[in-house]
Structure 1
Amino acid sequence: MASMSLEKNRIKFLLLEGVHPSAIATLNSAGYNEIEALSGSLDEDSLIEKLKGVHFVGVRSRTQLTERVIASADKLIAIGCFCIGTNQVDLPAARRHGIPVFNAPYSNTRSVAELVLAEAIMLARGVPEKSMKAHRGEWQKSAAKSWEVRGKTLGVVGYGSIGSQLSVLAESLGMKVKFHDVVTKLPLGNAEQADSLEELLRESDIVTLHVPETAATQDMFGAAQFSQMKSGAIFINAARGTVVVIDDLVAALKSQHLGGAAIDVFPVEPRSNSETFESPLRGIDNVILTPHVGGSTQEAQENIGIEVALKFAKYSDNGTTTSAVNFPEVALPEHHNSHRILHVHKNVPGVLAAITDVLSSNGVNITGQYLQTAEDIGYVVVDVEHGQGSKALDKLSSIEHTVRCRVLF
């Protein structure tokens, strides 16, 4: 697939699921104005139809960019997840089609951490249950099963950007923090890394999950893990819904082995606010249920909109792929007084030599060259003298193993 750079007013963006207006403002500031924004998600067939002629698509958590969708998108050159997670995108399929996927891994960490800490305090005080009873006319004024969080142990499963920030906030309230991660991490403050998940569960008064959705974390928490937790302990999941076996959590709550739970993510979630939310956790008084709003604050959404939109603009303007989750990462300077060739190809020997040979045989002078590979894809960026970028475009696109080739003027 070969393409010449378009005028910015011809590059089309599609933003779904109510992406914050800051994304549009950021793209406008970068010179992009052909932007369509929709408040909801689209099913597969509708999405395929809508993506015709679209160069950049932005989604949040509900829209599913499957291999069929990606293969059908005739003009698509980049995908943006306006959130932390990228499991809604078939990342290998996007990579095979030469499409980088960008996300916002840090912009909503504070919002998620604050919500988790607030839920921990509310559950430790038994507020959800007392509130539900008050709504029904019951008056449960009692200090029984009501504790301060000061001095209690918070067990953080997954010590990434959210888990580590939560750790700092919890310590400021006087909590002890233990964490479990698949790799050794440098603790912040006085946090301690547990030798095993079993140790963390055994010693924690509150357990909170902050892990990604992977094959390794599928059903990571079930009956065995809940049985290892302290009697009366609190469980919080603001990570991914597939990490927890919900029926096992319900059983641990109804048996009163657990003292309460707060769940923000679910194995199956409504596609829009008009759909009914179904879960076995509904109706349990000591459970806080929130509709996947851990990062849904105005501050977080504004920051996410800016972060992903800037990544779109940089990739469109000069080919920079820094922080792409599925693609070779290349940080590129501006290309003043030169044309820039972006060549995506299968990661096999000989492609770089073929590119150089094509340019040389066509009298194209190279002024800069960058190469990075990731798994099955290679990404070569070549700067050539101004006015020479289009000379060999067709021949470069015809090189064996080429996925796509684009020239920026």
Structure 2
Amino acid sequence: MTRIVLFENIHPSAKEVFAAAGFDDVVAHASSLPPDALREALRGANLVGIRSRTHLDAALLSDAPDLRAIGCFCIGTNQVDLDTAMLHGVPVFNAPFSNTRSVAEMVLGEAILLLRRIPEKNDRVHHGHWDKTADGAFEARGKTLGIIGYGNIGSQVGTLAEAAGMRVIFHDVEAKLPLGNARASTALKKLLAQSDVVTLHVPGGKATRNIMDASTIAAMKPGAILINASRGTVVDIDALHDALESGHLSGAAIDVFPTEPKSANEPLDSPLIGMRNVILTPHIGGSTQESQENIGREVAEKLLRFVLSGTTKGAVNFPEIPYQEIAGTARILHVHRNLPGAMGTLSNLMAEHGLNIVSQQLQTRGPIGYVISDVEGKVDDTVVSVLRAHPITVRCDLV
């Protein structure tokens, strides 16, 4: 029996996927849990599903020996200690594409609203002012959108922006194939100087920390707009506040923050609070019914494929092996230390117990190797125990 535990109100589509495959032992929690309660909830779990607020650190992972795989029902995976999970033989899956459209639509919508000064006009009407002036209000058509990070979401934003008549330029640390009429910019500050709207779609980490600081914000075109729906650490919020207050930038939309509230009732602490030309949203770029349903299905299906066949295609921390139909009477999933002679040792152990290998798939990643072996012969508890007990073994399971 496979025990599945889900946290943070994951969309019911995930449970539907599990139920359709006959996996009924599913426990769902509506929110993240404090560490002690989380440790207890993980006890005996084989598959775990989380979103962004549940943090699985090395200590928690070490206390969950039954855990076989983790599903991050979101794009990011930095809430999981990926290296520790790998060293325990636990692959981690996510949904890198499922909310792309939702984020892209929100970014384009915010760009249009800010170009037209709608947030400010809306606020003034609510407070009794009927300001019909066109000063500072512009069409999106003909304006330049600068995209920093031209991956799945950034390129989709560009496609939508072109449909609205915008000129699209982008900057990425890797060479990317432009979609539509988008053009690559070789220098970040060159892009900033040309763009009426700048939108960020980069990963978190040291390389992107405060890439929009006082210096780069100063390099932006006067009157430009800055949008961040990527990671909270990539914009220096104090520098952004100063640029908005001075009038160097005409507006901003921020969906992610360096430090975010831990509950719905905790207020956001930010110098941007109260600024009429700033749209603040609570990390909802990918939060649409469509994207959450897609994410629920995508990640649940990846977890199922791993449990049913051993495939790790799409794992973010693990050797990737694509799907292949079972060729023998049993399939052995073996994670081992990536040392010379590992495969020979595994083959010899199987041969000693009368198992004939009819098909094998092997991939390695850093300190571990992962091999799927289809065998003919009887694979009983004794065989599995011997394989698990060998010093080279990290983990061994049967499909």
Q: TM-score, normalised by structure 1?
A: 0.95
Asked if structure 1 preserves the Cα contact closer than 8 Å seen for 2:327 and 2:359, the reply is: no
Instruction: State the match for 2:292 in structure 1.
Output: 301
Cα distance per residue 1:286-340 (max 9 Å; x no partner): 0001111111111100000000000011111111100001101101323265211
When the two structures are aligned, how many residues end up with a matched partner? 399
Matched residue, 1:66: 57
- Report if the CA contact (8 A) 1:83-1:103 is conserved: yes
CA distance in 2, matches of 1:346, 1:294: 40
Deviation at 1:396, TM superposition (A): 1.5
Aligned positions of 1:308-347 closer than 5 A: 308-335=299-326, 338-347=329-338
- After superposition, the C-alpha distances for 1:248-293 in whole angstroms (9 at most, x for unaligned) are 1111111111110001111111223233222221111100011111
Query: For residue 332 of structure 2, what is the amino acid of its counterpart?
Result: I
| Residue of structure 2 in register with 1:359 after alignment | 350
- Considering only aligned residues, what root-mean-square deviation do their CA atoms show, in Å? 1.3
Deviation at 1:141, TM superposition (A): 1.5
SS of equivalent residue, structure 1 residue 216: helix
Which string of whole-angstrom CA distances, capped at 9 and with x for unpartnered residues, describes residues 371-392 of structure 1? 0011222101111115336452
After superposition, the Cα gap between the structure-2 partners of 1:401 and 1:275, relative to the gap in structure 1 and judged at 3 Å, is farther
Q: Confirm or deny: 8 A CA contact 1:389 1:407 kept in the other structure.
A: no
* Code of the aligned partner of 1:193: A
- Cα deviations by residue, 1:215-247 (Å, 9 ceiling, x for unpaired): 211222111110000111000000010111111
**Aligned pairs for 1:46-61 within 5 A:** 46-61=37-52
Q: Which runs of at least 4 in structure 1 moved beyond 4 Å after TM superposition? A: none
Pair 1:348 & 2:339 matched: yes
* Structure 2 Cα separation of the partners of residues 128 and 377 of structure 1: 52
- Residue 120 (structure 1) aligned with residue 111 (structure 2): yes
Match of 1:167 in 2: 158
- Does the 8 A contact of 1:261 with 1:286 survive in 2? yes
Structure 2 gaps of 5+ residues are: none
Asked whether 1:283 is paired with 2:271, we answer no
Identity of aligned residues (%): 53
Q: Which residue of 1 aligns with 2:234?
A: 243
Q: Distance in 2 between matches of 1:333 and 1:146?
A: 57
> Cα distance 1:297–1:55, how it changes in 2: closer, same or farther (>3 A)?
same
CA deviations over 1:195-230 (Å, ceiling 9, x no partner)? 111111111110000011122112221111100001
Structure 1 contact 53–75 (Cα < 8 Å) conserved: yes
One of 167, 172, 194 as aligned partner of 1:176: 167
Q: Which structure 2 residues correspond to residues 186-197 of structure 1 after superposition, within 5 A?
A: 186-197=177-188
Instruction: Say whether 1:150 aligns with 2:141.
Output: yes
Q: 1:132 aligns with which of 100, 123, 132?
A: 123
Give the secondary-structure state (helix, strand or coil) at the position aligned to 2:207: coil
In structure 2, distance between residues paired with 1:43 and 1:157 = 36
Q: Specify every segment of 5 or more residues in structure 1 that has no aligned partner in the other structure, as ranges.
A: 1-9
Deviates more, 1:209-218 or 1:398-407: 398-407
> d(CA) in 2 for partners of 1:217 and 1:401?
38
In 1, the alpha carbon distance for the partners of 2:326 and 2:166 equals 51
Secondary structure of the corresponding residue to residue 208 of structure 2: coil
- The secondary structure found in structure 2 opposite 1:379 is strand
Deviations 1:155-201 (A, max 9, x none): 00111111111111111111000001111111001000101111111
Distance in 2 between the 1:173 and 1:248 partners? Answer: 30
| 1:72 to partner: Cα distance | 1.2
Match 2:14 to one of 6, 23, 27: 23
Q: Would you say the 8 A contact 1:355–1:399 is kept in 2? A: no
Select between 347-356 and 382-391 the one with higher mean Cα deviation: 382-391
SS of the residue corresponding to residue 227 of structure 2 reads strand
Aligned to 1:396: 387
Q: Distance in 1 between matches of 2:323 and 2:347?
A: 19
Out of 175-184 and 346-355, give the one that drifted further. 346-355
